[in-house]
Structures are given as C-alpha cells and as structure tokens.
C-alpha cells in the first residue's frame, strides 16, 4: 500500500460487504508528527485522518484518486495516539464513471471521532 504518511498508521484488518468497508488501523504513537502536534499533548491532525481515508479508498478500489470536494466534515473527538491508537473506519464507497464518493465514520470504542463525505476524481496513470 502506497502512502504519503510513511509509518503513520498500519492497516490491521478490513472487511468488505458490497461497497462498504470496515478497516481497523493502528496509529504509530512514536511518529514525528505527534512531536509537533502537540508537544506533551499529542493529537492526530484532521488532515492526516482525511489522508488515511483517501489512502484506504485507493487501496480498496485499486484506483489513484484526487480529492475534489469534502462536505459535512465533522471532527467530533480528539484522537490521542497514546490513549486510543486503534481506530475503526467505516467507508461506504460508491463509484461513477469519473468519481468515487465516500461516506466515512471513524471511531474508537463507542466514540465517533470523525464523520465526513468526500468526492474523489479518478486519476489516470
């Protein structure tokens, strides 16, 4: 799996049911990003969570994607990699000829941390 977030997270497992995927990932609490965001109080940056959704969507569809639009992006809980490194991401993926639409819910335990809808453009190599 190609990622720009080198060693930031590991895909532990996933399940597929039609166009719906449930991915279980683990964040690397020792990653350099957490040293600066924020020292002594690490918080997973929202942009990194959005990138993880894109990378998992690319992995599950086998496509290269470009973020076109994001709507209803709601960061609902802080993700501290020391307290809650294991995350569950539900991705409901719908493809058209040119686009890939994803509805995502990211959670840890019973807590929803992120909800968003994104639209990616398919890229040709």
- Whole-angstrom Cα distance, residue 14 to residue 25? 9
pLDDT tens digits, one per residue of 84-122: 999 999 999 999 999 999 999 999 999 999 999 999 999
Distances, alpha carbon 29 to alpha carbons 7, 8, 88, 105, in Å: 10, 8, 16, 21
Residues in the chain: 125
pLDDT tens digits, one per residue of 53-94: 999 999 999 999 999 999 999 999 999 999 999 999 999 999
pLDDT over 70 at 50, yes or no: yes
pLDDT at 4: 84
Model confidence band, residue 3 (pLDDT cutoffs 50, 70, 90): confident
């Amino acid at each position: 799996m190609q990622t720009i977030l080198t060693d930031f997270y590991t895909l532990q497992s996933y399940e597929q049911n039609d166009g719906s995927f449930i991915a279980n990932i683990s964040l690397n609490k020792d990653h350099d990003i957490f040293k600066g965001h924020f020292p002594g109080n690490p918080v997973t940056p929202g942009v990194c969570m959005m990138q993880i959704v894109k990378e998992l969507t690319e992995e599950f569809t086998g496509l290269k994607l470009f973020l076109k639009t994001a709507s209803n992006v709601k960061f609902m809980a802080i993700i501290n990699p020391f307290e809650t490194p294991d995350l569950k991401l539900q991705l409901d993926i719908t493809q058209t000829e040119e686009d890939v639409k994803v509805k995502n819910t990211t959670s840890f335990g019973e807590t929803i941390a992120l909800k968003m809808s994104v639209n990616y453009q398919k890229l040709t190599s």
